[in-house]
Amino acid sequence: MAPGCVMPASRCDIDHTVAWFDGGNTSADNLAPLCAGHHTVKHHGGWTVVQLPDSGGVVEWTSPYGRRYLVEPERRMPVFRAAEPSERAAPSDDRAAPF
């Protein structure tokens, strides 16, 4: 999930985009596979890396000079959100629990 990288995820480190010690969660929207080289660049190369919210896993890298690169995942993560109260089905007798 780094610009131009073709390393298969199976050979990558799973990186917390927001580091665990900075309060980052171990959750799909904060994890991305990075090869060892790009993992080092992310942490020590002066780049800024963020996952775009509600994007299904798109990662934005910003170089030390301010150039931005968007990296699309091979397959997007489904974006889940809680249903609004108005979207929730109202309980009815035919939906009663079967026990």
Taking the C-alpha atoms of residue 34 and residue 42, their distance in angstroms, rounded to an integer, is 9
What minimum distance in Å lies between the beta carbon of 77 and Zn ion?
20
59 binds Zn ion (CB under 5 A): no
* Residue 5 sits in the site that holds Zn ion (CB under 5 A): yes
Cα–Cα distance measured from residue 12 to residue 7, given in angstroms and rounded to the nearest whole number: 7
CB of 37 to Zn ion, least distance (A): 5
Q: According to the binding rule CB under 5 A, does residue 2 interact with Zn ion? A: yes
Comparing CA positions, the residue from 38, 42, 37 lying closest to residue 18 is 42
Site membership for Zn ion, residue 9 (CB under 5 A): no
Give min distance, CB of 54 to Zn ion, in A: 25
Eight-class DSSP state of 6 = -
Q: How far is CA 58 from CA 33, 72, 81, 84, in A?
A: 12, 5, 17, 25
Site residues for Zn ion, 20-39, by CB under 5 A, read 35, 38
Query: Site residues (CB under 5 A) for Zn ion?
Result: 2, 5, 7, 35, 38
